[in-house]
């Protein structure tokens, strides 16, 4: 029994139908004939050749023949699709390193601790209203939003 070696990348081998023409090239060469038939039968005057039908047929034939030309083992139509896919892909990829997707989060185990509640005094309702003007409030807000302000909280009691 005779054995033959099958290439590993059999899907990349292109079928040749007639000589060095592939199926896509033959389809691109037949499509102007179908277009010419459609133009000849549908457009007015029907089933007669007129002056405006010839450019439509010739332009379609020229475009299809140019698309069927083979350059570096690929037809021009495939090159156009490769260029279009390259141009339509995003230019910048933004990766968020802080995302929690596919990460294992090690959370510390918190033991039950006693909570101490303190009684608080009720605030008196007779608090004085601040006498700041609108201009002072705007200045205060701009200082807080500028990032130059640093606030530290120091507690007298040490908490555990």
The H-assigned helical ranges of 2-42 are: 23-42
With vertex at residue 145, the alpha carbon angle to CA 149 and CA 127, rounded to the nearest 5 degrees, is: 80
Q: How confident is the model over 20-66, as pLDDT tens digits?
A: 888 999 999 999 999 999 999 999 999 999 999 999 999 999 999 99
What is the domain partition of the chain in residue ranges?
A: 15-88
Q: Which residues, 6 or more positions from 15, have their beta carbon under 8 angstroms from its beta carbon?
A: 22, 23
Please state, in angstroms and as integers, the Cα–Cα distance from residue 8 to each residue in 3, 5, 12, 22, following that order: 15, 9, 9, 21
Q: How confident is the model over 63-78, as pLDDT tens digits?
A: 999 999 999 989 999 9
Residue with tokens 């997707």: 101
Q: Cα–Cα distance between 160 and 150 in angstroms, integer?
A: 25
């Amino acid at each position: 029994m005779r054995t033959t070696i099958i290439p590993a990348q059999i899907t990349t081998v292109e079928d040749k139908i007639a000589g060095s023409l592939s199926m896509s090239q033959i389809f691109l060469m037949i499509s102007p004939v179908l277009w010419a038939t459609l133009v000849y039968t549908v457009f007015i005057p029907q089933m007669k050749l007129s002056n405006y039908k010839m450019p439509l047929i010739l332009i379609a034939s020229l475009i299809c023949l140019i698309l069927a030309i083979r350059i570096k083992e690929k037809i021009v139509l495939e090159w156009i699709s490769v260029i279009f896919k390259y141009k339509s892909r995003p230019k910048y990829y933004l990766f968020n390193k802080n995302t929690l997707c596919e990460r294992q989060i090690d959370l510390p185990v918190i033991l039950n601790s006693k909570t101490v509640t303190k009684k608080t005094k009720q605030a008196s309702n007779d608090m004085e209203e601040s006498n700041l003007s609108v201009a002072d409030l705007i200045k205060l807000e701009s200082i807080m939003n500028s990032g130059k302000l640093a606030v530290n909280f120091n507690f007298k009691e040490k908490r555990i």
